[in-house]
Structure formats: C-alpha cells, structure tokens
Amino acid sequence: MAKTILDEVIEAREYLLPGHTACPGCGSALALRWVLKALGKDTILVIPASCSSVYQGIYPSSAINVFIFNVAFASAAAVASGISQALEAKGYKDVNVVVWGGDGGLVDIGFATVSGAAERNENILVICYDNEAYMNTGIQRSGSTPPGAITTTTPLGKIVGFKKPAPFIWLLHGVPYVATANVAYPLDLYQKVKKASKIRGFKYIHIFSPCPPGWRFDDSKTIEVAKLAVETGYWILWEAENIGGKIRFSLSPPSKPYIDPAKRKPIEEFLKLQKRFARFTEESINKIKEFIDYQWFLVKKFLEEK
C-alpha cells in the first residue's frame, strides 16, 4: 500500500526535541516541530531575537537538533543570505538556509533586510511565525497586531490600523514562492515547507501562531483558536508560485469554503476566546471585519488573475 503524507510525517525524524522551554500551548513551538520534520537534518536556522531565541534550551544545551545562528533583530535575512552564498561557493547545494523569526523580527524590525533578500532573490527560506505582537519582550504591539487588541503598549485596545499584509508584500516582490499556513493544519504546513525547500530562490511562509499568554487564553485551546481563525475568515490559507513571471495563486483546501462570507463562522466566536479582545467595542469589531474584507479582496484579485 502506498504511503500517505501522514505516514511520511509520522516516520520523519524529530529535530525539535523534549527539553525546550516554550510556554505550554506555544504555537511557534508546534510549528517549528513540523517545519523541521519537513526540512530534515541538512538545515541551518538563522534566528533573530524572538521567543525561539529563548526556548531552544538552556546554554550550553539545545533542544533544536540542527545548526543555529542566533543574530540581532534586524539582521537575520542578511546573515542567511551570506550563509547561503558561502555554501554555494563551497559547493554545498542541498542545505536549507532558513530564517525563523516572529512578526517583530520579520514584519517590523527585520523588514528591510527581508525585502533586500527578496529583491535579490537569495536562495533562502524565510518563515515568520506570527503571534501578532512582540511576545518575547513583554507583549508589545507590532505591525502585525490586529486593530483593537490589548497589548502592554495598547492597554486600552487602541485602534491603530490594519494588520500589515506581509505575505502579499513579499508576493509583490516577484519571488518564486509565498504561502500562508496555520498550526491547526499541520499537514498543509508540512507540504508547503517541503515544496518551498525544493524551489531555488527566495521563499516565504507566514504561519498563524497563537500565543496563550499574549492572547490571554487557556493553553489547552491553541488549536481551537487557530482553527477558528480560518473558519471565521480572519486567516486565509493560500500559496502562490511565480512561474516565468506569472503568479499561480491558489487557496489551500481548508480555506476554500470560506470564500463565501455566508459560510464563515461569526468573527465573535474567534474573538471571545481571547482576553486581549476584552475591551472590544462595536467600532473595534467593525474594524476587524473591514480587515477581513480587505484580506479577501486581495485574495480574490489574485484569483481573478488566473
């Protein structure tokens, strides 16, 4: 009997080992486990300042069983570019050079170096685990924080603006591959990472990564919260390949039903599980709905280009 993708995942070696110090229910630790299963041993992680800088383990030990470069907040994509080019010069062709960082390090502070690497089409894979704030340094608002969410720098849930549409920004750089993923859909994540690892040039994957202490929900509900993000239309699963200058854009299977607003669950079901939305007003909810409509507007525009 032929092996299924699930069989492949179950048999894949573990590279995130017991002993890491991530919080219970940490979405990024769940995501990293699947990412490393997909990439395998010939992988180098470049990690900017982030939760992952801490939970990899207590010095001199590490729970992440691949090579790691821990670097300054803004420099990860630049460092990864240098590593990739050095490996190329030495004749190493099959090593995955991966930037693994949060939204603080990649959507905000490291944005310029990621853009430069994308513009040069460096042969690296950039993966952002998006927990929608600077969680490692105290839950401060980032450019990826949804409007109206409570953080330590927006304690009253101030409505600042839309969440930055980072995956679309990298897609518009004309790079070979961009995708979104979600920890509640691990097989989808695994397959996208596998695909990205086989593509030469700049690749980017943006992962929805709930944070129990930052979002203020019980750590047993990480997957429930992550699934509701898709089911309410808040988080859209898609991938795009640049084939000869033409973008091939497609929705991933879990997202396809939700292109119809009538088939989505009410956004309030997603919001009510998280105390970071405890101060939400009708204005706040309307702003989130505007954000959802804007995301789907972008998706539909790319789907129409087929």
Q: Which residues contact 169 (CB under 8 A, 6 or more apart)?
A: none
Reduce the DSSP state of residue 7 to 3 states and report it: helix
Question: Cα dihedral angle (127, 130, 135, 137), rounded to 10 degrees?
Answer: 40
pLDDT for the residue 306: 58
List the chain residues with pLDDT less than 50. none
pLDDT for the residue 255: 96
pLDDT for the residue 245: 86
**HEC letters along 89-114:** HHCCCCCEEEEEEEHHHHHHCCHHHH
pLDDT for the residue 208: 98
Reduce the DSSP state of residue 178 to 3 states and report it: strand
Torsion-angle region of residue 148: left (phi > 0), alpha (psi -120 to 50) or beta?
left
Write down the domain spans for the chain: 18-304
For residue 252, what are its two tokens? 């991933």
The CATH code for residues 18-304 is 3.40.50.970
Whether residue 225 contacts residue 274, with contact meaning beta carbons closer than 8 Å, is answered with yes
Return d(Cα 190, Cα 31) in angstroms, integer: 9
> Which tens digits make up the pLDDT trace of 225-237?
999 999 999 999 9
Return d(Cα 257, Cα 251) in angstroms, integer: 10
**pTM greater than 0.95:** yes
Q: What 8-state DSSP symbol labels residue 118?
A: H
